[in-house]
Chain A
Amino acid sequence: MTEATAPPPLSRPALRGMLDCLNVPALGLGLTMVGFGAMAQDAGIALLPAMGITAFVWGIAGQVALIEIHAGGGGILALFVAVALANLRMLPMSVTGLSAVLGGKKLPFLGRVMLMQTMAISCWTQMMTRSDHVPNPQRLSYYLGFAATLIAAGLIGTLVGHQLGRVVPQAVLTVTIFMTPLYLLLLISGARQWVNRLSVIFGILVGVGFYPVLGDWSVIAAGLLGGTLAFLSAPRLFPNSGDGA
């Protein structure tokens, strides 16, 4: 953390995390999962396994990959590879997100793994760019409140979508599916350090530009190629910002 001054303590950090989540993050994810629940129902997947996919795969890209391959009879190995590919981002997100969540607290390895199992893009972005108001000793409570609320929203959304089908009008879903990525892109575009803002720009260019050729692999290309370009060019472009390597 690079805050110049420590923020004042929050009276109820876990509750604050819940309230901060009960906004664009929970609304966007909940409605996304309504779409997922309906999709699972269409694919002939029962309610509990559908909710199990939301709870344990926890990331819409991997969840959709799982359903598509399962419905298409693609086999266990193809399913594993597709979900693993869709979730590779969790590796760098866990490495960088863990200290933002712990705020200096010590937890055993298994505890840290369990914490990171609850990590999602919305949680990561919140902890990296939108939690300057949370003092270090309260970050874990704040995160738990935020993450638990997000998971609850995801499970409720899956349940509603599965039981009621396409209860949400298609136009509303279309707009919602636009809202979450825009929200998260705006948040990460405001990253504190130039090297990370550059990563966002290069990531967008590579991720979108290579998608027609690479398909889902373009996310990995965006990370490795875009991230490395930003890492290498930031010290040259912004020699006085004190960010880069």
Chain B
Amino acid sequence: MILGDTEIWIAVAVGALGTFMWRVLGVAVETRVRQDSPLFIWIGCVAYAMVAGLMARVLLMPGGDMAPDSMVWRFTAFLVGLAAWYWRGKSVPTGLAAGVGTYALFVATGTA
């Protein structure tokens, strides 16, 4: 079971098309929009907000898990990481270590 059948490769091709088209469109838009225009700034806002919205959802509700208990622990660990990041002069390694460490503790002790 290495090569797979035709059906799955068609699915791969269709899936690739579903992401490729946005990237082609993105390049086409980029060549037509001035970097200092309000439209470009707005597109940047949309990009940041989309990435933030998706990452926050994956962080708090991975795989669509909306059980309130696990969400509370994830949110707590996120706040610890955010606070550590901010108080150490926006140090990403510090915030990451604090947040992941807190969450690992919850997982290890079976709370989360």
Write the residues of chain A forming the contact surface with B, with a CB cutoff of 8 angstroms. 24, 45-49, 52-53, 56-59, 61-63, 66, 70, 76, 79-84, 86-99, 109, 112-113, 116-117, 119, 121, 124-125, 171, 174-175, 177-191, 195-196, 198-204, 206-208, 211-212, 215, 218-228, 230-231, 243-245
Which residues on A sit within 8 Å (CB–CB) of B29?
Answer: 91, 94-95
Chain B interface size band reads 35 or more
A-B contact pairs, 16 of them (CB 8 A): A46-B5, A57-B19, A62-B18, A92-B46, A119-B23, A178-B103, A180-B58, A183-B92, A184-B51, A190-B92, A195-B45, A199-B47, A203-B50, A218-B53, A219-B50, A230-B48
User: B8-25: which residues lie under 8 A (CB-CB) from chain A?
Assistant: 8-25
- Beta-carbon contact of B24 and A222 below 8 Å: no
Q: Which residue of the partner chain, among A89, A97, A231, contacts B54 with CB atoms under 8 Å?
A: A89
With the chains together, A116 CA to B47 CA distance in Å? 14
Query: Considering the chains assembled together, what is the distance between the CA atoms of A196 and B45 in angstroms?
Result: 6
Q: Check B22 against A84 for contact (C-beta < 8 Å).
A: yes
B96 in contact with A186 (CB, 8 Å): yes
Binary CB contact string for chain B from 25 to 66 against chain A (1 if under 8 A, 0 otherwise): 111011101010010111111111111111111111110101
With A49-B9, A191-B48: A95-B19 Cβ-Cβ less than 8 Å: no
B67 within 8 A of A: no
Chain A residues near B60: list those with CB within 8 A. 208
Q: Knowing A56-B12, A83-B18 are in contact, say whether A196-B2 is a contact too (CB < 8 A).
A: no
Most buried by A among B33, B35, B41: B41
Q: A48-B3, A124-B51 are in contact. Are A84 and B42 (CB under 8 A)?
A: no
Closest to B66 in A: A212
Most chain-B CB neighbours within 10 Å: which of A95, A124, A175, A184?
A95
Contact A207 B54 (CB under 8 A): yes
Q: Which residue of A lies closest to B45 (CB)?
A: A227
Inter-chain contact total with CB atoms closer than 8 Å: 298
Contacts A89-B54, A196-B48; A56 near B15 (Cβ below 8 A): yes
CB distance from A38 to the nearest CB of B (A): 13
> Which B residues lie within 8 Å of A47 (CB)?
1-2, 4
Cβ–Cβ < 8 Å partners of B53 in chain A = 203-204, 206-208, 218-219, 221-223, 226
Which residue on chain B has the smallest CB distance to residue A32? Answer: B58
Q: Is the CB of B49 within 8 A of A203?
A: yes
Residues of A within 8 A of B41 (CB): 195, 231, 243-245
A45 touches B8 (CB 8 A): yes
B58 nearest CB neighbor, chain A only: A181
Asked if B82 contacts A121 (CB within 8 A), the reply is no
A93 to B29, CA, bound (A): 11
Contact call A199/B48, Cβ cutoff below 8 A = yes
Contact B17 A80, beta carbon cutoff 8 Å: yes
Inside 8 A of A244's CB, which chain B residues have their CB? 41
Q: List the A side residues contacting B11 at CB < 8 Å.
A: 49, 66, 70, 76, 79
